[in-house]
Amino acid sequence: MKAVVLVSPRHLAVQEVPKFELNPDQVMIRVESCGICGSDLRYFAGENPWALHTLGINAPNESNMILGHEFAGTVAEVGSPAFRDQLGKRVAVIPYNTCGKCEFCRSGRYNLCRSTLHIGHGAGWGKMDYYPGGMAEYCPVWQTHLCELPDAISSDDAAIIDPLSVAIHAISLVGIKPLDQILVLGSGPVGLCIAQAVRAYGADQVYCTDITGISLEIARQVGVDAALDARDEGLYENIMALTRGKGVNVVFDTVGSAVSQKLALSLLAVSGSLVNLVANETAVDFRLMDLSGERRIICSANSKYDDYLLGIRLMAKGLVKAGPLITHRFPIESTPQAFELLLNKEASGALKVVIHPN
């Protein structure tokens, strides 16, 4: 089968690889659509974003990882006769499986499990010739990790369900209240999923920032109240004016720079929360008094299984629109060009790029 293999950092190749054999607890997905995630770009660059978020270290990656975890398709084969009723079903995939035994799993915080197996990267699988991922014609998935898709959600739109689950998990950490004012720093796929989903929790005003024109235009398309250029020297003053000097109740930072963190803290209202969705090795200096008035910083990590199911419901009801976020589609053979597009998105106008393996 054809697959997109990260041979080594910055060495991406579309190769013919052996089709994986199924374990009894797995099914084989014929992949129709797979989104390129920002974490795929970080794996490509030699980082390990999962380890940074979950373990707090930048662990080395395995060679020959088949990338991709934002995917949907059709159940083509089953590993056990008990799953025959799944054949032919259109599904999105929950792309990770936790150990079920550690203190985090046993306390319901399995998104922090340090022994997670994750489709799309090599951690925890043991030595393999290739590691399974969604950027392939076929991908094995645990039968318990399938989300059947309603007719209202296309396979391309389903490639947004994983970033939407990340958004929903981040939102769940802060308890948004009706009439809250929300600021999202960074209008990429996760940021724009947050900007839409917070409405379902009762948020009143939603503001987004970015440095690329296409992202700001798409933010306006999905209904934010203000889409602001992050390079504007008057950004702080503009947001304070929008909030009548009070600041925002919650800031979601999907950028993860020293500049974005300091801006976020400066704009928090009393008792406000900064939710950081990016883990990297950036050092940030701030004053302890910036957290006065019961302001707080929360670091969101990954997502939970129920976040995927809620994401599907929000999307099916039209409360989150995936279509505007998808700017480009490529056949699997053109995946290296798709990566180049995203690595130069300010010039290319790319936001979410979807790969079609079949």
Per-residue model confidence as pLDDT tens digits over 275-328: 999 877 778 888 888 889 999 999 999 999 999 999 999 999 999 999 999 999
Mark 177-202 as b/e (b = at least 16 C-beta within 10 Å).
eeebbbbbbbbbbbbbbbbbbbbbbe
How high is the pLDDT of residue 50?
A: 83
Q: In angstroms, rounded to a whole number, what is the distance separating the alpha carbons of residues 118 and 95?
A: 6
Our measurement of the distance from residue 124's CA atom to the centroid of its chain's CA atoms, rounded to an integer in Å, reads: 21
Dmax over Cα atoms in the chain, in whole Å?
A: 63
**Residue 38: HSE in the Cβ half-sphere, 13 Å Cα cutoff:** 18
Running DSSP on this structure, what letter comes out for residue 63? Answer: S
Question: Bigger pLDDT: 95 or 285?
Answer: 95
Per-residue pLDDT, averaged over 204-216, amounts to: 97
336 or 58, greater pLDDT: 336
Please tell me the predicted confidence (pLDDT) of residue 286: 82
Is the per-residue pLDDT at 173 higher than 80? yes
- The three-point CA angle 260-265-267 to 5° equals 95
Burial classification of residue 349, based on how many CB atoms lie within 10 Å of its CB (0-12 exposed, 13-18 middle, 19 or more buried):
middle
Class of domain 2-160+322-356: alpha beta
Q: Please report the pLDDT score of residue 53 as a whole number.
A: 76
Sequence-ordered list of residues with C-beta below 8 angstroms from that of 254, at least 6 positions apart, any chain: 184, 185, 186, 188, 190, 191, 194, 277, 278
pLDDT of residue 287: 84
Q: What's the CA gap between 182 and 195, in Å, rounded? A: 8
Q: Which CATH number fits domain 167-299: 3.40.50.720, 3.30.565.10, 3.40.718.10, 2.40.40.20?
A: 3.40.50.720
The answer to whether residue 58 scores a pLDDT higher than 90 is: no
Please indicate whether residue 343 or residue 285 has the higher confidence score (pLDDT): 343
Rounded to the nearest integer, the mean pLDDT of the chain is 95
pLDDT of amino acid 166: 98
**What distances in angstroms separate CA 77 from CA 88, 141, 149, one per listed residue?**
9, 11, 18
Contact 70, 354 (CB under 8 A): no
What is the average per-residue pLDDT within 210-238?
Answer: 97
Q: What is the pLDDT of residue 87?
A: 98
Tokens of 216: 């700001």
Q: Residues of the chain with pLDDT > 70: what percent?
A: 100
Pairing of strands 268-276, 248-253: parallel
pLDDT, residue 314, reads: 98
What average pLDDT does the segment 323-351 reach? 96
Q: What's the whole-number mean pLDDT along residues 32-53?
A: 92
Mean pLDDT to the nearest integer, 259-283: 92
Average pLDDT over residues 135-158: 98
Q: Indicate whether 132 pLDDT > 80.
A: yes
Number of Cβ atoms within 10 Å of the Cβ of 244: 8
Helix or strand holding residue 50 (H, E): helix 49-54
Residues of the chain with CATH 3.40.50.720: 167-299
Residue 347 has pLDDT above 90, yes or no: no
> Are the beta carbons of 211 and 346 closer than 8 angstroms?
yes
Task: State whether the Cα torsion 313-316-317-322 is positive or negative.
Answer: positive
In sequence order, the 6+-apart residues with CB closer than 8 A to the CB of 217 are 227
For the chain, residues classed under CATH 3.90.180.10 are 2-160+322-356
DSSP annotation of 26 reads: E
Confidence band of 167 (pLDDT split at 50, 70, 90): very high
Q: How many CB atoms lie within 10 A of CB 18?
A: 9
What is the model's pLDDT at position 356?
99
